[in-house]
Structure 1
Amino acid sequence: GDFFVIGQTSFHLGHGTDSHSASDHPEGIEATRFEPGQLEQVPFRDPGKRLEVLTRLPELIWGARSDDDLHHRLTGLLLAGVNHADAVAIVEVADDDTDTSQISVLHWDRRQETAGPVRPSSRLVRNAVGDSARSILHTWDTDQAETPYTVVSEFNWAYCTPIRDVPGEQRAIYVAGRAPGESAQSGRPVLESDVRYTELIAEVVAAIRRVNRLERQRSSFRQFFAPPVLSALGDDPDTSLLEPRECDVTVMFCDLKDFSRHAETSSDDLITLLDRVSRIMGVITTQIHKYGGVTGDFQGDAALGFWGWPFPGATATQDACRAALGIRSELQNASSDPQHPLAEFSLGIGIAHGRAVAGKIGTSDQVKVTVFGPVVNLASRLESLTRQLHVPILMDQATADRVRDSLGTDEARLRRLARVLPYGFETPHTVSELLPPHSDWPELTDEHIARFEEGVDHFLAGTWEEAYACLHAMPASDRAQDFLTMMITQHNRVAPADWDGIVRLPGK
């Protein structure tokens, strides 16, 4: 297009081109900003060679082992495709929204290795990656330019093209060289073709990096979220949905019983023990995800799952109970086969419902999910109480209230066990056992459960003789009676004079 000159500064005119004022640029510099689509009509120079170079681009990007490796490959590719480029750099601007943002050269390359490092123009880079994020071309006459801004005696042009890929990152491709002919202005058609070629490379790089980032993100999410949750989050998850926030959650805490004993007996073959523990963690994760839950961090031989985040669910508490029963069933089936690698293992499971803070922590590439609050501590404590109360699964009153009438007896059964004050707690809790349906445990009938809860009522009321009679009627395979009957027996079936119905537990 046409151009005009004021003093020593020339301004290029073209459709969609942003020509800056004379005060923005030192004397002798022509600055051209290319708007979207402006270069689409510019023909590629030497299209055969450039097409050959571009066909290597996907393999080059996918094969990069790291960002440093990618930058090294890109600079080489650009030097091969831009004939008159003498220097290429991948640069990054610090995201602090100031005119003095630091410019970092992530990688550079020169056509002549002995020519020295590349020193990009800070102002050119900042302008290119700024709010407009457009390619900007600088040209100058080295004989007339009187400023070090962008001007290096061996060059008479430079341009910068943003790489628009990851939000929050301001990276760009910086290319500089000497135009063929007497001046950079006479070589503008070639330079515009070079800018178009570089923009194409930047777009492909950005697209593939976005895909890589999303795949890494989804891979990291996959270990925490069930498939329905992943589907709801979509292909490009709105990470604001995953930010920590307070919400109602149902927490399930699982821990291997007697793990120290297993570790001691397997001290000569810890690899096999690790494999067996990993299988158990796999059972837990599978059941959590099967019923739409989220897995938190594993802690050695313990695992955490929770429901109610990132999306609230009307059946969150019921699903937590279904997952717990699924875990119990899997391990029970394994125990029936002495040769099964999980045959000797058993789990304690605690379930609690209440307010907590749940959300992701970490970077976009390495996400971890956590939940914390009193309800998590309660679920953990309930799990430890399974050993003292001799049952596999315990739940708090809030959980029991939510599922007692909403889970059919063909799925699960509940029974109250006691009112306890765990060690270190200030508030007593009524705890209940989550039981499989009658079809899975026919020895314990619904009449047994009703009789047991009658015994608990007598126990709470202090009529321990009657309580003992009710509890003693349970089948031998039901060990839930042991805790209360032992306490009753130790007191000769007579409640203490100051009995208030609360069992104060001496330790964890």
Structure 2
Amino acid sequence: MAELVAQGERPEQRWRRVLPAGLPVILGRGMGVWDVPWDQRISRRHARLTLRGNQLLVELLPEARNPIYYRGQEVREALLRPRECFVIGLTTFTFLGELAHSSIPLGEAIYRQVFGPNILEATCFSNPDRRLEVLSRLPEVISQAADQLQLCSALVSMVLAGIPCAELVAIVRMGDRQGPSSQSEDLRELPPVETLYWDERRIGFSCFQPSRRLVREAFHQKQTVLHIWQRPLAEKPLRPIPDLRETIPWTEDPKEGTPSAQPGNAANAQTSPEFTAVEGLDWAFCTPIRGKVSASWGLYVAGSWPRWSSMGDLAQLVQALRAEVKFAEIVAATVGALRDLRELERRQSLLGQFFPQRVLEAVAVEDPDVVLAPRETKVTVLFCDLRGFSREAERHAGNLMALLDRVGKALGVMTRSILQEGGVIGDFQGDSAMGFWGWPIAEGSWMASVCRAALKICREFETLRSQPDSPLAGFRVGIGIATGQAVAGKIGTDEHVKATVFGPVVNLASRLESLTKMFHVPILVDEATAQAIREEVSPSVARVRRLARVRPYGLEQPVEISELRPPAHEDPLVTDEHIRLYEEGLDAFLAGNWQRAYRLLRELPSEDTGADLLIAHIVQHGRTPPPNWDGIIPCLSK
């Protein structure tokens, strides 16, 4: 595969990208994968790059403000061969062309060391100011990374800037641990190691393949592990390996946290090509990145023998690498913690679409799987449906996207009111929303909150629907509320979480919402909810009025339904006296005394549409109840 490397003024201003074969890409600022954010001289859309075989065509776009330089000349287009460069602003782009990704097999390392905490605590930083500057930019890098590629690219560049002796840095991911665990196991039996991203200090390596043995050992030890291989024979002959126990503390158990030197077979190392490193890299260490999100990630840092070194200087080289390992450990710990924090924020934001603030606070300090676990409990379910959608869809058939935006705003009114009153968003069904109370935190009575949420939804729709320029113009709502036992809980994954509730009470709330059209009232509640409101909710918050006994379509048991109304000071149309008159009329209706019921119901204001159904039912039957009258009005449809 062919690659392009971008390098800005500073070492960390760098990325490496694979060029797609035959598919043009746009280079510029803010262009996703091909973004060059550090160079103000590069336009948003600056150049078109097209891979043609093993050559790269670079074309200046019309909107580009600054030229492209190739071989020192300003050009509008250029056809690059491998290893050639072009420059825009202060950034140099190097085309690597097709690279042969064969690898030289790695054999046993001639030296291994596990870096425990006691070693790193005693190690002092060299050039601390530079390293602290790099570390200080980590939070910004992680927060601004749009995807995994951008994150890995930025991290690799920062580690290269912070570890001067590193020739190559990679982010690797450990595969599933399976197969033998001995140090002498066959390479083919080791778990896979994926390279998420890698880059080099200077263009020169034709391929890169991490040592799977090294990566696996680091993840097994859960600490940084260093491997040193010998340089190929043509470059540097090896002297006999000294007894490493004379220069470096020796321990039989690497888990003790002290360095363990494990010299390989010197004779074999001098004669076997398997004891060489890939592409001239003589040492590498792998540092696992801790944390839940990055549990399988690791920093892989590799380099070559210093010019001054020889095999007799092995202890000196290891000592020199300790400061680099300490820096890598700090980077890995910081990255792991920041990625976990960002994931928590992401999950909190996702949960915030469904859960009120007090639930989010509980999830932040307790195990979410415990707090949000499904369980059977008493709940109150509110089902809210948008009325007028079909009519508005016909009127705006030519602009359905605008209609969708209006529906979204309407659903926003519903969900915002539910969440503000401590409810959980359970589901969306087209132009309706369902919320519920009583889970996951069921402390005290929530009925006043249910009433406030329902009345708030109706009040906001009533205020805005009459305004022609309002997105809610032409819309109304119907709300059904029911209380009972149900199973409530979180289902799905962290990425696709959904809180929901199961049980007959959900179906009843939906049926009550449908009945609001039949009774010409905005909010209906079942008997259990009405009783709880009378006992637990102050009349200054909400009132209830019994309306009728009905058998909803699809249900066998009859239900006494009541209307939820605002407090008297907000509802001059229906006074407390009107509620008393209606309920007296209802009692007469249920008892079969329809003449008295008709007389009482006719005393109500004509604008009180809640009495319309009973009056119409009485008139339809000639003010005489049918034989075997049981007081129940059957509903023949939804």
Q: Is 2:462 the counterpart of 1:332?
A: yes
C-alpha deviations, 1:350-390, integer Å up to 9, x for none? Answer: 11112333333444355443333322222122111100111
- The residue type equivalent to 1:109 in the other structure is D
C-alpha deviations, 1:406-445, integer Å up to 9, x for none? Answer: 1122221112222222222233222111111221222322
More divergent stretch after superposition (75-84 vs 93-102) = 93-102
More divergent stretch after superposition (418-427 vs 145-154) = 145-154
C-alpha deviations, 1:170-205, integer Å up to 9, x for none? Answer: 211122232321134440112211111111211222
1:27–1:147: 8 Å Cα contact kept in structure 2?
no
Q: Determine which of 175, 186, 196 is the counterpart of 2:301.
A: 175
| Equivalent in the alignment of 2:285 | 159
1: distance between equivalents of 2:120 and 2:614?
Answer: 83
Shift of 1:348: 0.2
Could you say if the C-alpha distance between residues 493 and 168 of structure 1 is closer, same or farther in structure 2, counting changes exceeding 3 Å? farther
| Equivalent in the alignment of 1:207 | 337
2: distance between equivalents of 1:187 and 1:500?
Answer: 96
Q: Is 2:507 the counterpart of 1:426?
A: no
C-alpha deviations, 1:264-322, integer Å up to 9, x for none? Answer: 22334545544443333332233212211122343332122211122113222331122
Q: Is 2:162 the counterpart of 1:36?
A: no
| Equivalent in the alignment of 1:502 | 632
Shift of 1:127: 3.2
More divergent stretch after superposition (344-353 vs 38-47) = 38-47
Q: Is 2:579 the counterpart of 1:453?
A: no
1:460–1:500: 8 Å Cα contact kept in structure 2?
yes
1: distance between equivalents of 2:278 and 2:295?
Answer: 28
Q: Is 2:392 the counterpart of 1:262?
A: yes
2: distance between equivalents of 1:265 and 1:384?
Answer: 24
Q: Is 2:360 the counterpart of 1:230?
A: yes
Q: Determine which of 218, 228, 245 is the counterpart of 1:128.
A: 218
**TM-score, reference length from structure 1:** 0.85
Q: Determine which of 538, 545, 550 is the counterpart of 1:408.
A: 538
1: distance between equivalents of 2:375 and 2:394?
Answer: 41
2:466–2:474: 8 Å Cα contact kept in structure 1?
no
2:374–2:488: 8 Å Cα contact kept in structure 1?
yes
- The residue type equivalent to 1:92 in the other structure is R
SS of 1:455's partner is helix
2: distance between equivalents of 1:149 and 1:499?
Answer: 97
| Equivalent in the alignment of 2:152 | 71
1: distance between equivalents of 2:397 and 2:108?
Answer: 78
1: distance between equivalents of 2:166 and 2:406?
Answer: 59
2:206–2:279: 8 Å Cα contact kept in structure 1?
no
Could you say if the C-alpha distance between residues 124 and 150 of structure 1 is closer, same or farther in structure 2, counting changes exceeding 3 Å? farther
C-alpha deviations, 1:245-277, integer Å up to 9, x for none? Answer: 333221111111121012222334545544443
- The residue type equivalent to 1:103 in the other structure is V
More divergent stretch after superposition (316-325 vs 283-292) = 283-292
Shift of 1:336: 6.2
1: distance between equivalents of 2:340 and 2:402?
Answer: 40
More divergent stretch after superposition (51-60 vs 409-418) = 51-60
2:548–2:586: 8 Å Cα contact kept in structure 1?
yes
| Equivalent in the alignment of 1:317 | 447
More divergent stretch after superposition (363-372 vs 493-502) = 363-372
- The residue type equivalent to 2:536 in the other structure is S
More divergent stretch after superposition (288-297 vs 63-72) = 288-297
2: distance between equivalents of 1:294 and 1:95?
Answer: 38
- The residue type equivalent to 1:126 in the other structure is R
1:53-452 paired onto structure 2 within 5 Å: 53-94=134-175, 101-111=191-201, 113-130=203-220, 133-141=222-230, 144=266, 145=269, 152=278, 154-167=280-293, 169-180=295-306, 181-183=309-311, 184-234=314-364, 238-270=368-400, 272-334=402-464, 340-365=470-495, 367-452=497-582
1: distance between equivalents of 2:527 and 2:449?
Answer: 17
In structure 2, stretches of 5+ residues that fail to align are 1-106, 182-189, 232-237, 239-265
C-alpha deviations, 1:124-170, integer Å up to 9, x for none? Answer: 3233234x522122234455346959954733322111111335832
More divergent stretch after superposition (77-86 vs 259-268) = 77-86
Could you say if the C-alpha distance between residues 260 and 61 of structure 1 is closer, same or farther in structure 2, counting changes exceeding 3 Å? same
- The residue type equivalent to 2:302 in the other structure is A
Could you say if the C-alpha distance between residues 150 and 158 of structure 1 is closer, same or farther in structure 2, counting changes exceeding 3 Å? farther
2: distance between equivalents of 1:47 and 1:413?
Answer: 69
C-alpha deviations, 1:323-346, integer Å up to 9, x for none? Answer: 101222222333565665535321
Could you say if the C-alpha distance between residues 484 and 355 of structure 1 is closer, same or farther in structure 2, counting changes exceeding 3 Å? same
Q: Which is greater in Rg? A: 2
| Equivalent in the alignment of 2:15 | none
Instruction: Give the paired residue count.
Output: 483
**TM-score, reference length from structure 2:** 0.69
2:553–2:635: 8 Å Cα contact kept in structure 1?
yes
2:293–2:343: 8 Å Cα contact kept in structure 1?
no
2:478–2:517: 8 Å Cα contact kept in structure 1?
yes
Could you say if the C-alpha distance between residues 152 and 117 of structure 1 is closer, same or farther in structure 2, counting changes exceeding 3 Å? closer
1: distance between equivalents of 2:178 and 2:561?
Answer: 56
1:416–1:433: 8 Å Cα contact kept in structure 2?
yes
Could you say if the C-alpha distance between residues 406 and 55 of structure 1 is closer, same or farther in structure 2, counting changes exceeding 3 Å? closer
Could you say if the C-alpha distance between residues 284 and 481 of structure 1 is closer, same or farther in structure 2, counting changes exceeding 3 Å? same
2: distance between equivalents of 1:428 and 1:123?
Answer: 71
SS of 1:234's partner is helix
- The residue type equivalent to 2:172 in the other structure is V
1:87–1:111: 8 Å Cα contact kept in structure 2?
yes
| Equivalent in the alignment of 2:57 | none
1:295–1:369: 8 Å Cα contact kept in structure 2?
yes
2: distance between equivalents of 1:147 and 1:357?
Answer: 65
1: distance between equivalents of 2:443 and 2:541?
Answer: 19
- The residue type equivalent to 1:213 in the other structure is E
